[in-house]
């Protein structure tokens, strides 16, 4: 695996723009939230100092209310739409106005444990705590224990079929003209449709119109979904934040985190679908569970939420998916009629999700299935390079190439 490790390190170095790593050249020319946090797990394997810088630079974008935005626009670039002018937020450096899956606390804990850098961890701990408080206050104002995404981009799984029905309620009538750049960089068949983009940008226009004010956004949002992946990742992140709080926090902060964890544990239960054998998102405006089986619905394994019986049921479900595709874990159940093996989050395999699922499976004693997922992920990387995502039927490269978080997963997991 030495060759793969060197190649993965070279991808991170090439995408390093000075303390932050772009996901890939041209397609994503700025710093993305969960990309960066996960990429730090790659950096820490060969340059711990650089790993810490990644998190510090991400937090340069943090808002006064605690929100960590999904993009920090450290520089100008015409390669990406929508750029800072469309977002129209008031932060310096310029940022987007929405957030992304909160993997940061989990990464912070791992960096701290691996480097033993108490000073850095102590400085970043309150910043991450502030972000978790933002999720609770801004996205679960009634305190039910599930946080909502208000834009599909906040899920990180932009065009998942799980958002089809809630997104259909969002008007496809943006005021901002759509000038897509992504389809100039990668095959349009691997990206969301124009129709989806019109709705994505309508939401940006709407929220910009209320000044990106959290309570006003909550009131006007035509899309409000308790995404199973975001909620599972947050539940895991709160557990890791609690460990950090034991070293760096006050008693009141530990009590506050423990209280949120309790609420989240009970609320996540509502997302379990026993017939489907996994968890599913909840449409908070329609009031119904969204009956779509995605890889996001397996992330409660990573969050250590299910009991052993449920976890075993989920493992068997993953194996069942594996009878239909050559490479695990497709982002959509492959027998779903909407399964599209090349289109972004409607079928392809993602290395970051594979690692989370495999770590969860290991926790539950499903070592053989976890090893199969890890080996298949490494095989995809050998065969198709560090692609953004992969076709689960033939292992073909999809999306951007020389992709940072895929290379990072080779370094911290698949090639070890």
Site for ligand DGY, rule CB under 6 A: 70, 153, 158, 182
CA dihedral for 257, 104, 282, 180, sign (positive or negative)? positive
Give the Cα-Cα-Cα angle 289, 293, 298 (nearest 5 degrees): 100
Query: Minimum distance from CB of 179 to ligand DGY (Å)?
Result: 13
How far, in Å, CA of 384 to CA of 400, rounded? 12
Nearer Cβ to ligand DGY (35/366): 35
Q: How far apart are CA 132 and CA 130, in angstroms?
A: 5
CA–CA separation, 171 and 258 (whole Å): 39
Whole-number minimum distance, CB 79 to ligand DGY, in Å?
A: 11
Cβ contacts of 306 within 8 Å, gap of 6 or more? 272, 300, 314, 364
Which residue, chain included where needed, has tokens 């124009």?
194
Residue placing its CB nearer to ligand DGY in the complex, 153 or 390: 153
User: Please, what is the minimum distance in Å from the beta carbon of residue 400 to ligand DGY?
Assistant: 10
Residue closer to ligand DGY, measured from CB, 28 or 364: 28
Minimum Å gap between C-beta 155 and ligand DGY is 9
The CA distance from 184 to 77, in Å, is 14
What is the SS3 assignment for 394?
coil
What minimum distance in Å lies between the beta carbon of 416 and ligand DGY? 28
| C-alpha span between 35 and 27 (Å, rounded) | 13
- Looking at the annotation, which residues are catalytic? 158, 388
With respect to ligand DGY, which residue has the nearer C-beta, 82 or 360?
82
Helices (H), 172-227: 182-185, 194-209, 214-220
Instruction: Give the residue with the Cβ less far from ligand DGY, 182 or 366.
Output: 182
Report d(CA 35, CA 22) in Å as an integer: 8
Say how far apart CA 196 and CA 178 lie, in whole Å: 11
């Amino acid at each position: 695996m030495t060759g793969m490790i060197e190649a993965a390190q070279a991808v991170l170095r090439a995408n390093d723009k000075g303390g932050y790593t772009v996901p890939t050249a041209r397609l994503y020319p700025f710093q993305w939230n969960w990309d960066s946090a996960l990429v730090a797990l790659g950096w820490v394997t060969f340059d711990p100092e650089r790993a810490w810088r990644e998190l510090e630079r991400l937090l340069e974008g943090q808002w006064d209310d605690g929100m960590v935005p999904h993009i920090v626009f450290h520089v100008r670039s015409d390669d990406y739409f929508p750029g800072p002018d469309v977002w129209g937020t008031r932060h310096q450096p310029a940022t987007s106005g929405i957030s992304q899956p909160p993997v940061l606390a989990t990464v912070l804990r791992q960096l701290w444990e691996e480097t033993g850098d108490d000073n850095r961890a102590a400085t970043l701990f309150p910043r991450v705590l502030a972000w978790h408080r933002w999720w609770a206050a801004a996205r679960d104002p009634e305190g039910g224990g599930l946080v909502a995404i208000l834009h599909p981009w906040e899920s990180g799984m932009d065009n998942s079929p799980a958002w089809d029905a809630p997104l259909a309620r969002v008007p496809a009538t943006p005021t901002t003209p759509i000038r897509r750049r992504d389809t100039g960089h990668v095959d349009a068949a691997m990206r969301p449709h124009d129709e989806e983009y019109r709705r994505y940008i309508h939401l940006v226009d709407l929220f910009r119109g209320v000044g990106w004010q959290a309570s006003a956004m909550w009131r006007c949002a035509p899309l409000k979904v308790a995404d199973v992946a975001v909620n599972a990742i947050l539940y895991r992140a709160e557990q890791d934040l609690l460990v950090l709080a034991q070293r760096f926090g006050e008693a009141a902060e530990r009590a506050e985190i423990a209280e949120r964890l309790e609420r989240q544990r009970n609320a996540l239960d509502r997302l379990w679908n026993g017939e489907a054998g996994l968890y599913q998102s909840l449409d908070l405006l329609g009031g119904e569970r969204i009956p779509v089986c995605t890889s996001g619905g397996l992330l409660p394994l990573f969050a250590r939420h299910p009991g052993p019986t449920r976890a075993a049921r989920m493992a068997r479900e993953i194996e069942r998916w594996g009878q239909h595709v050559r490479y695990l874990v497709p982002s959509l159940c492959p027998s779903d009629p909407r399964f599209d093996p090349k289109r972004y989050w409607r079928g392809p395999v993602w290395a970051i999700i594979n690692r989370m699922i495999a770590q969860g499976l290991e926790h539950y004693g499903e070592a053989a299935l976890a090893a199969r997922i890890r080996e298949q992920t490494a095989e995809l990387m050998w065969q198709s390079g560090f692609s953004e995502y992969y076709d689960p039927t033939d292992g073909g490269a999809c999306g951007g190439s020389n992709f940072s978080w895929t290379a990072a997963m080779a370094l911290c997991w698949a090639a070890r």
